[in-house]
């Protein structure tokens, strides 16, 4: 099945970009991880612990609040 990129909308192109990026990461030896904050499964480098900057910030704020 051939798909013309000109026929796809912006949302479909963004979804395709994300899917292709995940496939590239899997093929390059990147590994699946579980985010320590939201527990979402994601592809990242070997030492990744958070799926996004948002979760990294949430973890920092939790640690900061526990110290106070």
Give the whole-angstrom CA distance, residue 50 versus residue 24: 19
pLDDT band for position 55 (cuts 50, 70, 90): very high
Residue 65 is predicted with a pLDDT of 95
Break the chain into its structural domains and give their ranges: 5-67
Return the number of other C-beta atoms located less than 10 Å from residue 30's C-beta: 16
Q: What is the mean pLDDT of the chain?
A: 87
Give the whole-angstrom CA distance, residue 43 versus residue 36: 14
**CA atoms 32, 35, 38, 42: torsion sign:** negative
Give the whole-angstrom CA distance, residue 64 versus residue 68: 7
Residue 1 is predicted with a pLDDT of 64
pTM for this model (two decimals)? 0.56
Q: pLDDT tens across 23-53, in order?
A: 887 777 667 899 999 999 888 888 899 999 9
């Amino acid at each position: 099945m051939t798909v013309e990129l000109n026929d796809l909308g912006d949302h479909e192109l963004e979804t395709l970009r994300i899917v292709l990026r995940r496939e590239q990461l899997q093929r390059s030896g990147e590994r699946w991880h579980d985010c320590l904050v939201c527990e979402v499964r994601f592809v990242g480098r070997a030492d990744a612990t958070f799926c996004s900057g948002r979760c990294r910030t949430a973890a920092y704020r939790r640690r900061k609040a526990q110290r106070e």
